[in-house]
């Protein structure tokens, strides 16, 4: 058990936060090794129990034979002084040893190990977060519940199945979040698998209970009535079902009367699955954003493609790039987005991950009303900020980003490292802070709607004293098997992660005005673990590196 304790101490030193484990695949990998250790500890417990039981059996067999002899002629047996002595010895010493053996609990070591690790186990927030992440992937990549339950995901060679009980728990999570759309999808899948003969702990009545009310919340009153009738038929003592049925039937009768229609009850078998539309949410460009994540609706034409080139880039004859210029590829023409190849070496990427991993914490966003950094459901990842002093690799990478971009890092933010967890994403956002909306600015209707849906935050970087975020340098530090693209809904671009490459764009025009076309998003990771690092360059110190323009749109 000393080895187990040593592992636990190492984990205690390296893993300082437990909450929101699901938001980082990098930290979730620790759970794999923790579980492996616990299985080994469990096997040791079983082995100890078997050894203990074998010793007790041996004692029982030996004493059983002895007592048969002694009880056959007690006086004759004790007549021999050795037998008398050994009886005294057995009852005074050896039976006490046997008692201690029986009372000994081999599980103590396992329980102790479990208790030590339990403080690092995922909690209910993690389970709920992971379930919601699966639903997010389901929506974004248009995967039906049955496909998901069979684990048939792009890029996966092995399938991880969801059981009836898993699907029920997914639906229950959505139900508890008042997300009745997903509650219906997963309760229906649970019911479908149960009706197909799959064994489960959950009962059909429990599924129908949640499903009928969720269907009612989705506005499908006739089907809510049918499902509740099935529930009452299965369990006539279900009080809530009886009350709901009477309420639903009154509402349906009134509805049919107002529409001058008659209601025909559906046949008893089978239960038909309903189809419902996903409710609208806070994101005005939701459909465009998710289509781009799937690789649909990309506005790359042949004419636009003809304007894209690749070249060697020496950073305007930067001495460090003259002998080994970086490879530069145009990703988009307007706004100009470029990709740099072989920006980071494998060693540098692994070193950055190693340094960042113990520092990872849930990524935050700035509340536009209060200006306070807080977590948000639309940004699911963990991040860490690394300084030059953390390791020579960090200083070397920062210098390289300065050389390539031609912008000083003296006023830039620290190197941020992010790792996306289950369904990890960052919904459409701006990297720069917005000023109060100018009604004279000429924009199209869609962009205007986007402006009006998001609050201004002119003082977001005031405390830094370095001006607004001028440019973004984004490094991809892992390949992603499926999903995880960086998309720009405003002009229909999708950029896919390629390990070791980087993309760069300006967030501001030369005039200092924000380029609202650069609103972008990190699509949910469908399969894989996405690691990125980024450098945000600020305005101050760039006056001679990127001179101001003469007009608002320069």
What region does 219 belong to: left with phi over 0, alpha with psi -120 to 50, or beta?
A: left
**pLDDT for the residue numbered 449:** 41
Q: Closest Cα partner for 211 from 225, 197, 196?
A: 225
**pLDDT for the residue numbered 462:** 78
CB 186 within 8 A of CB 210: no
Q: Distance between CA 544 and CA 536 in Å, rounded?
A: 18
Q: Closest Cα partner for 140 from 479, 380, 450, 455?
A: 380
**pLDDT for the residue numbered 75:** 67
Q: Closest Cα partner for 422 from 120, 136, 124?
A: 136
Q: Distance between CA 497 and CA 339 in Å, rounded?
A: 10
**pLDDT for the residue numbered 24:** 78
Local structure of 499: helix, strand or coil: coil
pLDDT, one tens digit for every residue, the chain (554 residues): 433 443 343 344 444 444 567 777 777 778 888 888 888 888 988 988 888 889 889 888 988 888 888 888 776 766 656 666 666 666 666 677 777 777 777 666 666 766 776 677 777 888 888 888 889 989 999 998 988 888 777 766 666 788 999 999 999 999 999 999 999 999 999 999 999 999 999 999 999 999 999 999 999 999 999 999 999 999 999 989 999 999 999 999 888 877 766 655 555 555 666 789 899 988 999 999 999 999 999 999 999 999 999 999 998 889 999 999 999 999 999 999 999 999 999 999 999 999 999 999 887 666 555 555 666 665 678 899 999 999 999 999 999 999 999 999 999 999 999 998 778 899 999 999 986 544 444 444 444 444 434 445 556 677 888 999 999 999 999 999 899 999 999 999 999 999 999 999 999 999 999 999 999 999 998 888 899 999 999 999 999 999 988 776 66
**pLDDT for the residue numbered 11:** 40
């Amino acid at each position: 058990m000393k080895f187990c304790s040593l592992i636990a101490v190492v984990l205690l030193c390296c893993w300082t936060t437990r909450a929101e484990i699901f938001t980082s695949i990098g930290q979730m990998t620790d759970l794999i090794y923790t579980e492996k250790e616990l299985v080994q500890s469990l096997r040791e417990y079983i082995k100890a129990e078997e050894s203990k039981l074998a010793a007790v059996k041996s004692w029982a067999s030996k004493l059983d034979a002895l007592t048969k002899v002694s009880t056959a002629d007690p006086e004759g047996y004790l007549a021999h002084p050795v037998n008398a002595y050994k009886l005294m010895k057995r009852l005074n010493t050896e039976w006490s040893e046997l008692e201690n053996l029986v009372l000994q609990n081999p599980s103590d070591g396992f329980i102790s190990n479990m208790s030590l690790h339990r403080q690092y186990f995922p909690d209910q927030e993690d389970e709920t977060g992971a379930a919601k992440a699966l639903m997010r992937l389901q929506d974004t990549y248009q995967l039906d519940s049955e496909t998901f339950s069979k684990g048939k995901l792009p890029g996966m060679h092995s399938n991880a199945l969801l059981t009836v009980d898993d699907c029920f728990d997914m639906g229950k999570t959505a139900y508890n979040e008042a997300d009745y759309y997903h509650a219906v999808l997963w309760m229906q899948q649970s019911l479908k698998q149960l009706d197909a003969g799959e064994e489960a702990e959950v009962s059909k009545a429990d599924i129908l209970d949640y499903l009928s009310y969720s269907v009612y919340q989705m506005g499908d009153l006739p089907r809510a009535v049918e499902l509740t009738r099935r529930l009452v038929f299965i369990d006539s003592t279900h009080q809530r079902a009886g009350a709901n049925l009477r309420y639903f039937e009154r509402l349906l009768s009134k509805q049919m009367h107002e529409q001058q229609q008659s209601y025909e009850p559906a046949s008893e078998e089978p239960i038909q699955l309903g189809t419902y539309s996903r409710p609208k949410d806070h994101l005005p460009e939701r459909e465009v954003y998710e289509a781009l994540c799937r690789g649909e609706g990309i506005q790359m034409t042949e004419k636009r493609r003809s304007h894209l080139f690749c070249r060697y880039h020496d950073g305007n004859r930067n001495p460090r790039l003259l002998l080994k210029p970086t490879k530069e590829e145009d990703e988009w023409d307007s706004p100009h987005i470029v990709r740099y190849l072989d920006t980071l070496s494998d060693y540098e990427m692994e070193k950055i991950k190693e340094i960042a991993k113990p520092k990872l914490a849930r990524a935050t966003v700035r509340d536009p009303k209060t200006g306070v950094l807080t977590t948000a459901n639309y940004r699911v990842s963990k991040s860490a900020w690394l300084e030059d002093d953390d390791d020579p690799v960090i200083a070397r990478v920062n210098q390289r980003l300065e050389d390539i971009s031609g912008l000083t890092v003296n006023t830039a933010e620290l190197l941020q490292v992010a790792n996306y967890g289950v369904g990890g994403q960052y919904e459409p956002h701006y990297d720069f802070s917005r000023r109060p909306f100018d009604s004279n600015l000429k924009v199209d209707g869609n962009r205007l709607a986007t402006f009006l849906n998001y609050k201004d935050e002119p003082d977001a970087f005031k405390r830094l004293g370095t001006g607004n975020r001028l440019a973004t340098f984004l490094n991809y530090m892992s390949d992603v098997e499926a999903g995880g693209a960086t998309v720009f809904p405003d002009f229909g671009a999708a950029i896919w992660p390629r390990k070791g490459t980087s993309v760069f764009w300006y967030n501001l025009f030369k005039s200092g005005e924000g380029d609202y076309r650069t609103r972008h998003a990190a699509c949910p990771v469908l399969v894989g673990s996405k690691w990125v690092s980024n450098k945000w360059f600020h305005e101050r110190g760039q006056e001679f590196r990127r001179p101001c323009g003469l007009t608002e749109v320069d």
